[in-house]
């Protein structure tokens, strides 16, 4: 199932939808027509657990395109928002999780050239999240080194506390695309949250693909362009720490809860690792794709 948070017009509230062909099915209204109480927000739907996904998938399939009146709207007529517009907690970011990115970071960002023995974890606050097409803000008074990173993001579905790696993927609700924007000149004493957590620095979307449709999250191509020029291209197979390892590792000390988000790290090709280094500026356009999930396109604008 491909789930979205959408707005039908500028005056309406955000709604939870499921994509069926070129339509968005409003799950709360659809559930009402089928006498099944589906919620109207992504977080509330995640809270219901895996059974809700199975029921919604079955009911939509049974309609065979003939959806009840008032429950479907053309996808082209809606505005997609971040799938979880306001996460309950900080996003968990994973640094240095692709071998070649470790090497390029060591050359330009004073990080260790040695491969991490454990996941490197930082966070991005909920206020950093923006949805598809929204502008990435460039504040020239704060940064002159705004950089890009395409990432696979994991959405937690059920509470995970000290889970073994063998059970970790059972706690995943689904996957989405993340662009981890980074102001490289805003690191403070080695700490990354101000560099990576500023407003608009966490584009998410355009959809959440539920875990049942991505049985192997370690086989997904991902790539990013700036102004149409490819900067990054890799595959999640090259993660140092796989999705199941990340869920297991974080949950040893921090309880993961439904709706939590893990941005799993970026491959090589970031601006800081280039010679000469490259940065994005107002007027640039960043496009990031994870195969099987979707594409984010964001203009960079002056703040």
- Mean pLDDT of all residues in 39-68: 96
- Mean pLDDT of all residues in 238-248: 97
Query: Confidence class of residue 102 from pLDDT cuts 50, 70 and 90?
Result: confident
Whether omega before 210 lies within 30 degrees of 0, making that bond cis, reads no
Q: Does 112 score more than 80 pLDDT?
A: no
Which tokens go with 89?
Answer: 């907690």
The predicted-structure confidence for 179-238, as pLDDT tens digits, reads as follows: 999 999 999 988 899 999 999 999 999 999 999 999 999 999 999 999 999 999 999 999
Residue 104 confidence (pLDDT): 74
- Cα dihedral 278/279/283/287 (nearest 10): 80
Which tokens go with 198?
Answer: 């500023």
Tell me if 240 sits within 8 A of 165, measured CB to CB: no
Residue 87 confidence (pLDDT): 98
Strands 136-138 and 120-124: unpaired
Residues 155 and 285: their CA atoms lie apart, in Å, by 26
107/216: higher pLDDT: 216
């Amino acid at each position: 199932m491909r789930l979205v948070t959408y707005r039908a017009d500028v005056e309406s509230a955000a709604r939870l939808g499921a994509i069926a062909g070129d339509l968005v099915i409003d799950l709360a209204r659809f559930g009402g027509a089928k006498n099944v109480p589906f919620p109207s927000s992504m977080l509330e739907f995640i809270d219901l657990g895996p059974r809700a996904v199975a029921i919604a998938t079955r009911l939509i399939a049974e309609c065979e395109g003939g959806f009840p009146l008032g429950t479907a709207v053309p996808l082209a007529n809606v505005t997609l928002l971040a799938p979880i517009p306001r996460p309950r907690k900080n996003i968990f970011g994973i640094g240095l999780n692709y071998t070649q990115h470790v090497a390029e970071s060591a050359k330009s960002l004073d990080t260790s050239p040695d491969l991490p023995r454990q996941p490197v974890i930082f966070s991005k606050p909920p206020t950093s999240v923006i949805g598809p097409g929204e502008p990435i803000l460039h504040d020239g008074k704060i940064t002159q080194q705004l950089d890009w990173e395409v990432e696979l993001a994991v959405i937690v579905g059920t509470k995970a506390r000290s889970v073994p790696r063998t059970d970790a993927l059972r706690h995943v609700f689904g996957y989405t695309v993340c662009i981890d924007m980074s102001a490289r000149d805003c690191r403070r004493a080695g700490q990354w949250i101000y560099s990576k957590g500023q407003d608009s620095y966490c584009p998410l979307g355009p959809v959440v693909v539920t875990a049942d449709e991505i049985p192997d999250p370690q086989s997904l191509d991902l790539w990013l362009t700036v102004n149409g020029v490819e900067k990054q291209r890799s595959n999640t197979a090259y993660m140092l720490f796989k999705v199941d390892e990340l869920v297991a590792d974080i949950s040893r000390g921090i309880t993961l809860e439904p709706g939590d988000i893990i941005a799993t790290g970026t491959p090589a090709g970031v601006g800081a690792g280039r010679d000469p280094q490259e940065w994005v500026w107002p007027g640039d356009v960043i496009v990031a794709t994870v195969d099987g999930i979707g594409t984010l396109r964001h203009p960079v604008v002056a703040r």
